[in-house]
Chains A and B, each alone.
Chain A
């Protein structure tokens, strides 16, 4: 149980275009999902917290107009990188918060999406 998928696993796009990354909880409903960014040989940096049916909460320094997050259902959150530039190239990982009880303090991670902007 508690499986999270991401699509696509890899994407290459041209500078100036937008790209959408999907994060799905496959066997549970996730009212809260998180988006992280990981640079090579670096730790995970939380970008934003996505709550179903409401606006995402962005961490300090993250441009919300550039990284659009939509959490329209209990099993799907999307991250759209708008007007991508080479510096946006990174590994993006989503996670979904578990359900009630102790599970609410756990996060289940997707396999990640490698974005390359040329």
Chain B
């Protein structure tokens, strides 16, 4: 079965600084990879996704992520963080479950981003 690890529970950066949120996955084949952002009390908004092709993907709000197969990683980056980026960020892998069960998303535990002025 697939799994996702987000090693950092909470990250604090200053506004204008660069950001990298880490994500590692475990899956036997190439998975579909996603980054979502969630503001308090809200649903999830898709930032970007990787299915195949170019391993550097661009998303909304100036975010990008790079798929590195050798490291089983899909880290999220932003060159200059804005105060409005403060939120919870979830990495997810899409794959069929064990035993050929339905395709589903498996989420990491999330990284809370705090932005200092």
A76-118: which have CB < 8 Å to B? Answer: 91, 93, 95, 102, 104-112, 114
Quick one: given A93-B43, A112-B43, are A107 and B105 in contact (CB under 8 Å)?
Answer: yes
* Chain A 1-22 interface residues, beta-carbon cutoff 8 Å to B: 4, 6
Question: Which of A91, A93, A105 is B94 in contact with, Cβ under 8 Å?
Answer: A105
Which B positions have Cβ atoms within 8 angstroms of A?
A: 32, 34, 36, 41-46, 49, 51, 90, 94, 101-110, 112
Instruction: Give the CA-CA distance A110 to B110 in the complex, in Å.
Output: 18
Chain A residues contacting B102 (CB-CB under 8 Å) are 32, 49, 57
Tell me, in angstroms, the Cα distance from A44 to B45 when the chains sit together: 13
Known contacts A42-B109, A46-B105, A107-B105; can you find 15 more A-B pairs with CB under 8 A?
A32-B102, A34-B104, A43-B90, A43-B108, A43-B110, A44-B107, A46-B106, A49-B104, A91-B41, A95-B44, A105-B51, A105-B94, A106-B34, A106-B49, A108-B46
Would you call the interface of chain A mostly helix, strand, loop, or mixed? strand
Give the interface size bracket for A toward B: 20 to 34
The majority secondary structure among interface residues of chain B is strand
Pick 10 A–B contacts, CB within 8 A, sort by A: A41-B112, A43-B90, A93-B44, A95-B44, A95-B105, A106-B34, A106-B49, A111-B42, A111-B43, A112-B43
Chain A 48-80, CB-CB to B under 8 Å as 1, else 0, gives 010000000100000000000000000000000
Establish whether residues B104 and A43, one from each chain, have CB atoms under 8 Å apart when the complex forms. no
In the complex the two chains form, is B43's CB within 8 Å of A102's CB? no
A57–B107 alpha-carbon span in the complex (Å): 18
Q: Residues of B contacting A57 with CB < 8 Å?
A: 101-102
User: Which residue among A42, A43, A46, A49 has the maximum number of chain B CB atoms within 10 Å of its CB?
Assistant: A43
